[in-house]
Structure 1
Amino acid sequence: MIRTIDLSAFAFKDRNDPATTQGQSDRLAAARSLVDACHSLGFVKITGHGLSDGEVDEAFGWLKRLFDLPTEEKMKAPHPPGPMPHRGYSGIGREKVYHLDDVKKLETETGGNGNVSDELRKISDFKESYEIGSEHDDQQQNIWLPDDVLDGFRTYFSALYERLDEVADMILDAIGVGLGLDEEAHAALMALHSNRHCQLRLLHYPAIEKDMSDSVFARLPAHNDWGTFTLLFQDSNGGLELMDPKTKEFIHATPEKGALVLNIGDMLQRFTNDYFISALHRVSVPGPDVIRDKGVPARYSIPYFIGPKPSHTIASLPQFVTADSPAKYEPVRFDEYGALISKYQYADGEKEKEN
């Protein structure tokens, strides 16, 4: 079962003054509960994050307006060939999400000579997406729809990005407190994430109609996120599942009004030398009998991916490396790790490199 943790002691400092004894006690209790939940499962639901239900509902209203546009209109902000820059609109089936172990297996089986990308795409991902980053990111500049296509889109989602950046900082602060990091280590962890190299993703999983029961596709295959952690708002239709690291069985992340979902990513697993485990998760598709009987409704979600500075070398924090628990990972630059993970994400990028 996924626990729900209230972080209002961090989000509403006007009501929970951290300078007071009670405020400090409330913050420490919330932070420890958050860390304990993440340590146990790699997933947690968070309330008291600072966003009202009205703000979240407004965001989903914009999502529906975006994805209801004709394809030719959405394609006025196309995602470029290849995985980087990861910005703009990707149509159904264009991006492929996968687990790194699947790629390594295919590369070994083909001796590096086979078309790994085609093999991965034998089952396509039935989704469309729109990627947004910081307006201050010179390395990956945003690709926006023209104002005459969806007036106010850029203004709204630029502001939402900044709002979620504040929420992410608050949660990262709580994680540092809950881990008991000393002042220097806590400040270093916050500084690694201070340049806003995060990503806001808008996702639409179209409805699966009854007559599609014999088709073979996925919504989002099982995978790990390769950043620090991910925040997710999902609509009421659900479908998100995570693997319990103890039982190795997938469990439902049932939508809860007012709660966001946090899942641990690869970088936080490395930072903590496996104290936190990167959470394997997927968006499932029911079996053909269910689809044939009643179909599957559309699903919308808003993930916000938090990661360190691309050029930073990631290594385990000193407090997690001991004689009894030596470092499990070699240091790695975040951008190089990301390039390895996303190598086959966009097939047209691979073809462009070959030409």
Structure 2
Amino acid sequence: MTDPQALNREFAKYDQVQKAHTYRLAEHDSDEFDEDYEIATLDFARFLHGNEAERAGFADDFAQALGEIGFAILTGHGVEAALYDEIHDRVLDVFTSTSLEEKMRFRARRHGSVNQGYFPIEETSDIHPDLVEGWVWCRRAFDIPQHREVPFNAADYWPRPDDEPHFRRLVLAHEALFKPIAQAIFQGLGVDPHVYDRRLTATNFGLRLNYYPPMTRDQDASGAGRLLGHEDVDLLTILPATEVEGLQVWNHLSRKWVRLNAPRGSIIINTGDYLQRISNDRLPSTTHRVGKPGNSSHLTAPRVSFPMAVYVWEDEQLEVLSGLGDPKYPPIKAIAFHTRSTSKFYGDDYAVTA
């Protein structure tokens, strides 16, 4: 595990899309924050329920926001805030009432391109001592239609199988948004809105539960961050607004960090490496991290988040979409793209070369 003050450029050889900027993996006293920039908040109901002109207007606004900073906040998406409140409490319960011995029975290991299972604190990746516990479940961990027929047994994935139906409600609510969100993005880019409909039908995903326990004084002084600066290796990520602040986003224009605080019940959308590649760099896979909240609550209160990363299946080809200029990148199979990128977190032997 590397120094908490390490720079991202030390791991640039793993990047599968262009990422030219330099940043420290963890928050530092010398970091500058852009206090004036506001990440766009958009009403998704304009696209879900609007007429042709309203849908086109939303798509343009959405693509512009993502093209500028890679993040946007959506309201009007149709998922009840009460579900997010319930899941918040269940995430707390999963981490605080399950023994470490039981958690370690589900220690993370690779299932295709997704590293699924439990990540102990300071072991989210091999490159930084993040002060977070994580737990990732992909499609096969839920009793829902599968890409390939496999027998489902909740006890294979869940320390308490009765938890699966509750988190399944969140998965199904977000899965219903995969195609509309992608369609709006593609329409805003000026390409066929339905170009990924097939790929996003019963596609794979990673639901990640994050539990950030209160930091000790020693941890606070160590230079380690709650979650290292990184870019998501996926098509897009759906993140319900969190109760405790901490999410920070890199602004490519000002070269400063932006503190993102989204309203209750909203979802935060950010573009990942897959989308940067197929959009021919039109949509950046933007660096983000979790730092300390401004009110110092990290010393006394936990933080919870539950992002859902949207992938395509490993045998799909990632290629620049037609109509976006001369391709900067050749076609590549998703399994190779994904594992070459994430091998920086899990070691060089994680990459699939075929």
> How high is the TM-score relative to the length of structure 1?
0.77
Specify every segment of 5 or more residues in structure 2 that has no aligned partner in the other structure, as ranges.
1-37, 141-145
Specify every segment of 5 or more residues in structure 1 that has no aligned partner in the other structure, as ranges.
17-22, 97-116
Alignment match, 2:102 = 73
Aligned-partner Cα distance in 2 for 1:306–1:222: 19
Q: Could you give the per-residue CA deviations for residues 261-281 of structure 1, whole angstroms, max 9, x where no partner exists?
A: 111111111111111111111
| Deviation for aligned residue 1:309 | 2.5
**1:59 equivalenced with 2:96 (yes/no):** no
Alignment match, 2:328 = 328
Q: Could you give the per-residue CA deviations for residues 29-76 of structure 1, whole angstroms, max 9, x where no partner exists?
A: 222211111111111111011111111111112111111122223334
Alignment match, 2:134 = 129
Aligned-partner Cα distance in 2 for 1:66–1:81: 21
Alignment match, 2:322 = 318
Per mean C-alpha deviation after superposition, the further-off stretch among 23-32 and 50-59 is 23-32
In structure 1, what residue type is equivalent to 2:104? Answer: M
| Deviation for aligned residue 1:159 | 3.0
User: Is contact 1:81-1:346 (8 Å) kept?
Assistant: no
Aligned-partner Cα distance in 1 for 2:235–2:101: 35
Alignment match, 2:306 = 302
Aligned-partner Cα distance in 2 for 1:221–1:28: 36
| Deviation for aligned residue 1:192 | 2.5
| Deviation for aligned residue 1:189 | 2.1
| Deviation for aligned residue 1:299 | 1.1
User: Is contact 1:84-1:140 (8 Å) kept?
Assistant: no
Q: Could you give the per-residue CA deviations for residues 92-126 of structure 1, whole angstroms, max 9, x where no partner exists?
A: 12221xxxxxxxxxxxxxxxxxxxx5xx3xx4111
Q: Determine helix, strand or coil for the equivalent of 1:188.
A: coil
Q: CA, structure 1 residues 140+74, in 2 after alignment: closer, same or farther (shift >3 Å)?
A: farther
Q: Determine helix, strand or coil for the equivalent of 1:218.
A: coil
Aligned-partner Cα distance in 2 for 1:260–1:278: 17
Aligned-partner Cα distance in 1 for 2:44–2:83: 18
Alignment match, 1:4 = 41
User: Is contact 1:87-1:140 (8 Å) kept?
Assistant: no
User: Is contact 2:214-2:298 (8 Å) kept?
Assistant: no
Alignment match, 2:20 = none
Per mean C-alpha deviation after superposition, the further-off stretch among 238-247 and 206-215 is 206-215
Aligned-partner Cα distance in 1 for 2:307–2:186: 22
Structure 1 runs of 4+ with >4 Å offset: 81-85, 137-149
Identity %: 23
| Deviation for aligned residue 1:78 | 2.8
> How high is the TM-score relative to the length of structure 2?
0.78
Aligned-partner Cα distance in 1 for 2:278–2:81: 33
| Deviation for aligned residue 1:158 | 2.4
**1:45 equivalenced with 2:73 (yes/no):** yes
Q: CA, structure 1 residues 205+33, in 2 after alignment: closer, same or farther (shift >3 Å)?
A: same
Q: Determine helix, strand or coil for the equivalent of 2:222.
A: coil
Once the two structures are superposed, the pairs formed by residues 92-171 of structure 1 within 5 Å of their partners are 92-96=121-125, 117=126, 120=127, 123-135=128-140, 136-137=146-147, 144=154, 150=160, 152-171=162-181
Alignment match, 2:22 = none
| Deviation for aligned residue 1:147 | 10
| Deviation for aligned residue 1:169 | 1.8
Once the two structures are superposed, the pairs formed by residues 247-266 of structure 1 within 5 Å of their partners are 247-266=254-273
For residue 276 of structure 1, the aligned residue among 283, 305, 317 is 283
| Deviation for aligned residue 1:339 | 1.0
User: Is contact 2:178-2:200 (8 Å) kept?
Assistant: no
Aligned-partner Cα distance in 2 for 1:274–1:140: 37
Look at both structures and tell me which one has the larger radius of gyration over its CA atoms: 1
- CA RMSD of the aligned region, Å? 3.0
| Deviation for aligned residue 1:6 | 0.4
| Deviation for aligned residue 1:128 | 0.9
Greater per-residue helix proportion: 1
